[in-house]
A and B are shown apart, each in its own frame.
Chain A
Amino acid sequence: MVERRFIQRITGGVLALLVCSFSLFAQDEKELKPVTRTYAITNVNVVQAPGKKVDMATVLIKDGLITAVGKGVAIPADAIVIKADSMYVYAGFIDGLSRVGVTKPKEEVGRDRVKDPGNPAPERAGITPQNDVRGSLNASDKSIEDLRNIGFTVAQVVPYGNLLPGQGSIVLLSGKSADQMVLVSNSSLYSELSGANGVYPNTTMAVIAKWRELYRQASQAKSYQSLYASNRVGLERPGSDRVLEAFYPVIDQRIPVLFKSEKMLDAHRILTLKSDLGFSLIMADVKEGWPVANKIKASGAKVFLSLDLPEEAKKDDKKSGGKSDKKADSTKAKEVAKPKTAADLERDALEKRKSEAIANYTTQASVFNKAGVSFGFSSLSAKPKDIPANLRRMIAAGLSEDAALAALTTTPAQLLGLSDRMGTVENGKMANLVISDKSYFNEKAKVRYVFVDGVMYKLEVKEENLPAGQAGKSDPNAKVEIEGSWSTVTQTPQGSNDGKVTFKKDGSGYKGTVSGGRLPAPADLTSVTLEGNKLSYSYSLSFGGNSIKVDVEATVEGDSFKGNASIGLRGSFSIEGTKNPKN
Chain B
Amino acid sequence: MKKLFVLLFSSFILLGAMAQVDKGNLLIKNGTVITITKGNLEQTDVLIKDGKIAQIGKNITAPAGIKIVDASGHFVMPGIIDAHSHIALDGINEGTNPITPEVNESDVINPFQIGIYRALGGGITTVHAMHGSANAIGGQCETIKLRYGTFDPEVLKMDGAPRTIKFALGENPTRSHGEGSGIVPRTRMGVEFVIRQAFTEAKEYSEKWNQYNKAKLVKGFRGAPPTYSYRHEVLSDILNDKIIVHCHSYRADEIYMMLKVCKDFGIKRIVFQHVNEGFKVAPELAAQGAMASVFSDWWAYKFEVYYSTAYNAAILAKNGVVTSINSDDGEMMRHLYHEAGKTQKYGGLSDEEALALITINPAKQLGIENRVGSLEVGKEADIAIFKNHPLSIYGVPMFTIVDGVVRFDREKDPDDMRLVVDPKQAIETATFRDKLSDQDHCMEGAEFILDSELFNANKK
Question: In the complex, which residue of chain A has the Cβ closest to the Cβ of B99?
Answer: A118
A213 adjacent to B102 (CB under 8 Å): yes
* A186→B223 CA distance, assembly (Å): 33
A199 adjacent to B96 (CB under 8 Å): yes
A441 to chain B, nearest CB (A): 23
- Chain B residues contacting A233 (CB-CB under 8 Å) are 222
B183 adjacent to A219 (CB under 8 Å): no
Mark B377-402 against chain A: 1 for CB-CB distance below 8 A, else 0: 00000000000000000000000000
- Chain A residues contacting B11 (CB-CB under 8 Å) are 276-277
Which of the candidate stretches B277-285, B332-340, B403-411, B418-426 sits at the interface with the other chain? B418-426
- Chain B residues contacting A220 (CB-CB under 8 Å) are 4, 8, 225, 227-228
B75 to chain A, nearest CB (A): 33
Q: A53 on the interface (CB 8 Å rule)?
A: no
Q: B14 on the interface (CB 8 Å rule)?
A: yes
- Chain A stretch 271-288: residues in CB contact (< 8 A) with chain B: 272, 275-277, 288
User: Given the interface contacts A117-B96, A205-B104, does A235 sit within 8 Å of B90 by beta carbon?
Assistant: no
- Chain A residues contacting B422 (CB-CB under 8 Å) are 357, 546
Which of the candidate stretches B167-175, B253-261, B296-304, B429-437 sits at the interface with the other chain? B429-437
Q: B153 on the interface (CB 8 Å rule)?
A: yes
A259 to chain B, nearest CB (A): 14
Mark B228-246 against chain A: 1 for CB-CB distance below 8 A, else 0: 1111000000000000000
Q: A542 on the interface (CB 8 Å rule)?
A: yes
Q: A203 on the interface (CB 8 Å rule)?
A: yes
Q: B151 on the interface (CB 8 Å rule)?
A: yes
A203 adjacent to B227 (CB under 8 Å): no
B424 adjacent to A545 (CB under 8 Å): no
B102 adjacent to A209 (CB under 8 Å): yes
A118 adjacent to B431 (CB under 8 Å): no
Question: In the complex, which residue of chain A has the Cβ closest to the Cβ of B92?
Answer: A203
A352 to chain B, nearest CB (A): 9
Mark B143-180 against chain A: 1 for CB-CB distance below 8 A, else 0: 00000000111100000000000000000000000000
Mark B193-234 against chain A: 1 for CB-CB distance below 8 A, else 0: 000000000000000000000000000001111011111000
* A238→B44 CA distance, assembly (Å): 70
Q: B264 on the interface (CB 8 Å rule)?
A: no
Q: A356 on the interface (CB 8 Å rule)?
A: yes
* A462→B7 CA distance, assembly (Å): 61
Question: In the complex, which residue of chain A has the Cβ closest to the Cβ of B89?
Answer: A205
A269 adjacent to B108 (CB under 8 Å): yes
* A551→B151 CA distance, assembly (Å): 35
A315 to chain B, nearest CB (A): 14
B345 to chain A, nearest CB (A): 39
B418 adjacent to A223 (CB under 8 Å): no
B107 adjacent to A209 (CB under 8 Å): yes
Mark A65-107 against chain B: 1 for CB-CB distance below 8 A, else 0: 0000000000000000000000000000000000000000000
Which of the candidate stretches A174-182, A343-351, A500-508, A531-539 sits at the interface with the other chain? A343-351
Question: In the complex, which residue of chain A has the Cβ closest to the Cβ of B15?
Answer: A276
* A276→B91 CA distance, assembly (Å): 21
Question: In the complex, which residue of chain A has the Cβ closest to the Cβ of B1?
Answer: A223
B107 adjacent to A208 (CB under 8 Å): yes
B8 adjacent to A216 (CB under 8 Å): yes
Report whether over half of chain A's contact residues are helix, strand or loop; otherwise say mixed.
helix
- Chain A stretch 202-225: residues in CB contact (< 8 A) with chain B: 202-206, 208-209, 212-213, 216-217, 219-220, 223-224
Question: In the complex, which residue of chain A has the Cβ closest to the Cβ of B227?
Answer: A217
Partner of B104, one of A209, A310, A346, A349: A209
- Chain A stretch 221-269: residues in CB contact (< 8 A) with chain B: 223-224, 227, 233-236, 238, 264-265, 268-269
Q: A190 on the interface (CB 8 Å rule)?
A: no
Mark B418-458 against chain A: 1 for CB-CB distance below 8 A, else 0: 10111111111111110100000000010100000000000
Instruction: Point out which of A199, A203, A295 has the most chain B C-beta atoms below 10 A from its C-beta.
Output: A203
* A126→B63 CA distance, assembly (Å): 59
User: Given the interface contacts A220-B4, A546-B426, does A356 sit within 8 Å of B421 by beta carbon?
Assistant: yes
Question: How many A residues touch the partner, as a band?
Answer: 35 or more
B230 adjacent to A212 (CB under 8 Å): yes
User: Given the interface contacts A205-B91, A209-B230, A277-B11, does A268 sit within 8 Å of B421 by beta carbon?
Assistant: no
- Chain B residues contacting A415 (CB-CB under 8 Å) are none
Q: B16 on the interface (CB 8 Å rule)?
A: yes
Q: A198 on the interface (CB 8 Å rule)?
A: yes
- Chain A residues contacting B421 (CB-CB under 8 Å) are 353-354, 356-357
Q: A484 on the interface (CB 8 Å rule)?
A: no
Report whether over half of chain B's contact residues are helix, strand or loop; otherwise say mixed.
loop
Question: In the complex, which residue of chain A has the Cβ closest to the Cβ of B152?
Answer: A268
* A49→B325 CA distance, assembly (Å): 65
A204 adjacent to B425 (CB under 8 Å): no
* A212→B140 CA distance, assembly (Å): 15
Q: A561 on the interface (CB 8 Å rule)?
A: no
Q: B314 on the interface (CB 8 Å rule)?
A: no
User: Given the interface contacts A204-B90, A206-B96, A224-B224, does A265 sit within 8 Å of B107 by beta carbon?
Assistant: no
A205 adjacent to B151 (CB under 8 Å): no
B139 adjacent to A205 (CB under 8 Å): yes
* A196→B220 CA distance, assembly (Å): 45
User: Given the interface contacts A310-B424, A353-B418, A353-B421, does A201 sit within 8 Å of B222 by beta carbon?
Assistant: no
B223 adjacent to A206 (CB under 8 Å): no
A264 adjacent to B228 (CB under 8 Å): no
User: Given the interface contacts A116-B183, A205-B103, A217-B228, does A350 sit within 8 Å of B91 by beta carbon?
Assistant: no
- Chain A residues contacting B431 (CB-CB under 8 Å) are 350
User: Given the interface contacts A209-B107, A357-B422, does A200 sit within 8 Å of B228 by beta carbon?
Assistant: no
A213 adjacent to B230 (CB under 8 Å): yes
- Chain B residues contacting A350 (CB-CB under 8 Å) are 416, 427, 430-431
Q: A361 on the interface (CB 8 Å rule)?
A: yes
User: Given the interface contacts A209-B104, A265-B90, does A291 sit within 8 Å of B151 by beta carbon?
Assistant: yes
Question: In the complex, which residue of chain A has the Cβ closest to the Cβ of B423?
Answer: A310
Question: In the complex, which residue of chain B has the Cβ closest to the Cβ of A238?
Answer: B224
B427 adjacent to A203 (CB under 8 Å): no
Q: B97 on the interface (CB 8 Å rule)?
A: yes
Question: In the complex, which residue of chain B has the Cβ closest to the Cβ of A351?
Answer: B427
User: Given the interface contacts A118-B97, A220-B227, does A205 sit within 8 Å of B107 by beta carbon?
Assistant: yes
- Chain A residues contacting B79 (CB-CB under 8 Å) are none
A200 adjacent to B424 (CB under 8 Å): no
* A205→B131 CA distance, assembly (Å): 10
Q: A397 on the interface (CB 8 Å rule)?
A: no
A202 adjacent to B96 (CB under 8 Å): yes
Q: A547 on the interface (CB 8 Å rule)?
A: yes
A354 adjacent to B96 (CB under 8 Å): no
* A264→B428 CA distance, assembly (Å): 24
Q: B126 on the interface (CB 8 Å rule)?
A: no
Q: A567 on the interface (CB 8 Å rule)?
A: no
Partner of B107, one of A219, A269, A292, A295: A269
- Chain A residues contacting B91 (CB-CB under 8 Å) are 203-205
Q: A358 on the interface (CB 8 Å rule)?
A: yes
- Chain B residues contacting A269 (CB-CB under 8 Å) are 107-108, 153
- Chain A residues contacting B40 (CB-CB under 8 Å) are none
Mark B81-119 against chain A: 1 for CB-CB distance below 8 A, else 0: 000000000110111111110111101101010000000
* A350→B416 CA distance, assembly (Å): 8
| Residues in chain A within 8 A of chain B (CB atoms) | 115-119, 198-206, 208-209, 212-213, 216-217, 219-220, 223-224, 227, 233-236, 238, 264-265, 268-269, 272, 275-277, 288, 291-292, 295, 310-311, 346-347, 349-351, 353-354, 356-358, 360-361, 540, 542, 545-547
- List 25 interface pairs A-B (beta carbons < 8 Å), by A numbering: A116-B183, A118-B99, A198-B96, A200-B97, A201-B94, A205-B107, A206-B103, A212-B102, A212-B230, A216-B230, A219-B4, A224-B224, A234-B223, A238-B224, A265-B153, A269-B107, A272-B16, A277-B11, A292-B151, A310-B424, A349-B416, A350-B431, A353-B421, A358-B423, A360-B423
Q: A276-B11, A310-B423 are in contact. List 11 more A-B contacts (CB 8 A).
A: A117-B96, A213-B231, A224-B225, A235-B223, A265-B90, A268-B154, A269-B153, A276-B14, A350-B430, A353-B416, A547-B426
The 7 closest A-B pairs by CB, nearest first: A118-B97, A310-B423, A547-B426, A357-B421, A203-B91, A213-B230, A234-B222
